[in-house]
């Protein structure tokens, strides 16, 4: 049994094959970023929106109001 005649390659066939080969060699498997370990007693700077009356309540006690907010949040989180 003889093989069927080959059809001539077209530009689209060559381009498709080249794109497939390029994609195969350049596609990386995404790596997960390393999990960050929380260090004890290290604070992180964040921006947080708090109602004005709540902020005034904590600031009324004078310096240390950020620590008081942190303590209240820690208590609310059950820690």
What are the domain boundaries of the chain?
46-79
Determine how many CB atoms are found less than 10 A away from the CB of residue 47: 4
Mean pLDDT of 17-26: 78
pLDDT on residue 10: 64
Q: Which of 17-21, 36-40, 50-54 has the lowest mean pLDDT?
A: 36-40
More confident residue, 43 or 63: 63
Distance separating alpha carbons of residues 25 and 19, to the nearest angstrom = 10
Most confident of 5-9, 10-14, 71-75: 71-75
Across the range 66-74, mean pLDDT stands at 93
* pTM over 0.75, yes/no: no
């Amino acid at each position: 049994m003889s093989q069927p005649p080959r059809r001539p390659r077209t530009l689209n066939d060559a381009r498709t094959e080249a794109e497939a080969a390029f994609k195969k060699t350049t596609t990386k498997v995404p790596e997960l970023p390393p999990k960050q370990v929380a260090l004890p007693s290290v604070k992180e700077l964040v921006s947080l929106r708090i109602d004005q009356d709540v902020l005034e309540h904590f600031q009324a006690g004078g310096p240390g109001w950020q620590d008081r907010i942190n303590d209240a949040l820690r208590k609310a989180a059950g820690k």
